[in-house]
Amino acid sequence: MRTNPVNATLLDATLPLARSAGERALEHFLASGFKRIEPAILHPASIFLDMSGEAIRGRLFLTADSSGEELCLRPEYTIPVCRAYLASDKAGAVAEYSYLGPVFRAQAEGAGERAQTGLESFGRKDAEAADAEVFSLAMEAAAAAAGKLAARLGDAGLFDALLSALALPEVWRRRLKRGLAEGRDLAAILDGRSQSALAQPGVLAALESADHDGARALVEDLLAIAGIDAVGGRTASEIADRFLEQAALRSGDSIGIEKRKILESYLAVSGDLDVAAQTLRGLAGAAGLDLGAALDAFELRNGFIAARGVAIEETRFSAAFVRDFDYYTGFVFEAREPSRPDARPALAGGRYDGLARKLGAKADIPAVGAAITLDRLPGARR
């Protein structure tokens, strides 16, 4: 395994406290069989922009190579490690890595460079055991390096299963996922900015009883009457589908009171892992919803976490805790100094089975990881 002497010097010079904490954490990962990897610092900026959206552009340190391709300094480790894994002969097989080094994010105050350590596990089929191991190792490493953290857990897979079981229209699933990931509460998502400002009630009314083909024919007629050549990215069929969706939203009253109540109860579930599991079972039973496999996985993972000996009293489940759904596909977690519940998390991670495929792999590869931002650990404040 290649190590980079430049990083060591740099950490020596600028972050003496973080360095020792980082090395203690890294030792813990190494001792557990996560080999150290030092991925490239420069990457095509488009990868991070595709994954996280333009919102992060302002935080990237951008540059360009001689051909004009836009490059950036890595703003985090997961994507660089995943790329290195996919480029290696291990791609697709089980491989587990740890890392320690700088990541680069422009910020209004303070240095744009900060040290992270963490671990990534690829290819393991025993997802729940891998989830529990990565989470527990990260928590143990943070405790060994600086002090105990308080963790919050969530489960994107469970929420997905609930949305499927409720048979919500696609448009509502999308809005709920996105709204929760943005930190809005249920009422704001369901009652807030309504469907859209579509000021074409005539078209919508005409579509209320139409099927897809009828809707497409209508859209094509409308375009032909207006003399518009189809131009720009979306087909008449896609526009028709959106009209149908809007028509359905217009005719129905939101998502219905029953389903809304179920969502409210689900999102209110929080607390101790065992109690949460019982509450969720009760909720699913009372509503006659089949959360089967997702709930089994949740309990299995909780069992593994308990068996690893993580301080359960510092670990809370929160059904409303989700992170970016386009990225995280299952277990998610974050942890911070117990005395600073409003601080940015010092430790964060989750399961991201879809990332490898987005980075060019032919199929999803199971993956779970965690990153510790060293200057957010207890005692690291300057």
Residues that bind another protein (CB under 8 A): 46, 49-50, 53-55, 57-58, 171, 174, 178, 182, 193, 195-200, 203, 219, 222-223, 226, 228-234, 236, 238-239, 242-243, 246, 326, 358
Q: How far is the CB of 239 from another protein (least distance, A)?
A: 5
Q: How far is the CB of 158 from another protein (least distance, A)?
A: 20
Q: How far is the CB of 198 from another protein (least distance, A)?
A: 7
CB-nearer residue toward another protein: 144 or 171: 171
CB-nearer residue toward another protein: 199 or 257: 199
In DSSP terms, which residues pair with 43 in a beta bridge?
72
* Phi, psi (deg, nearest 5) at residue 347: -135, 135
CB-nearer residue toward another protein: 203 or 306: 203
CB-nearer residue toward another protein: 9 or 46: 46
Q: ∠ CA 88-94-95 to the nearest 5 degrees?
A: 55
CB-nearer residue toward another protein: 150 or 239: 239
CB-nearer residue toward another protein: 199 or 363: 199
d(CA 330, CA 240): 33
172-201 burial: b if 16+ Cβ within 10 Å, else e: bbebbbebbbeeeebeebbeeeeeeeeeee
Q: How far is the CB of 196 from another protein (least distance, A)?
A: 5
CB-nearer residue toward another protein: 71 or 277: 71
Alpha helices (H) along 88-169: 127-145, 156-165
CB-nearer residue toward another protein: 16 or 192: 192
> What is the distance of C-alpha 298 from the center of its chain?
17
Q: Are 335 and 347 in contact (CB under 8 A)?
A: yes
Q: How far is the CB of 221 from another protein (least distance, A)?
A: 11
Q: Are 165 and 290 in contact (CB under 8 A)?
A: yes
Q: How far is the CB of 170 from another protein (least distance, A)?
A: 8
Q: How far is the CB of 319 from another protein (least distance, A)?
A: 23
Q: How far is the CB of 28 from another protein (least distance, A)?
A: 36
- C-alpha closest to that of 270 among 255, 287, 283, 254: 283
d(CA 75, CA 61): 8
78 CB contacts (<8 Å, ≥6 apart)? 118, 120, 352, 355, 369, 371
- C-alpha closest to that of 24 among 140, 124, 150: 140
User: DSSP states of 43-87 as a string?
Assistant: EEHHHHHHHH-GGGGGGS-EEE-TT--EEEE-S-SHHHHHHHHHH
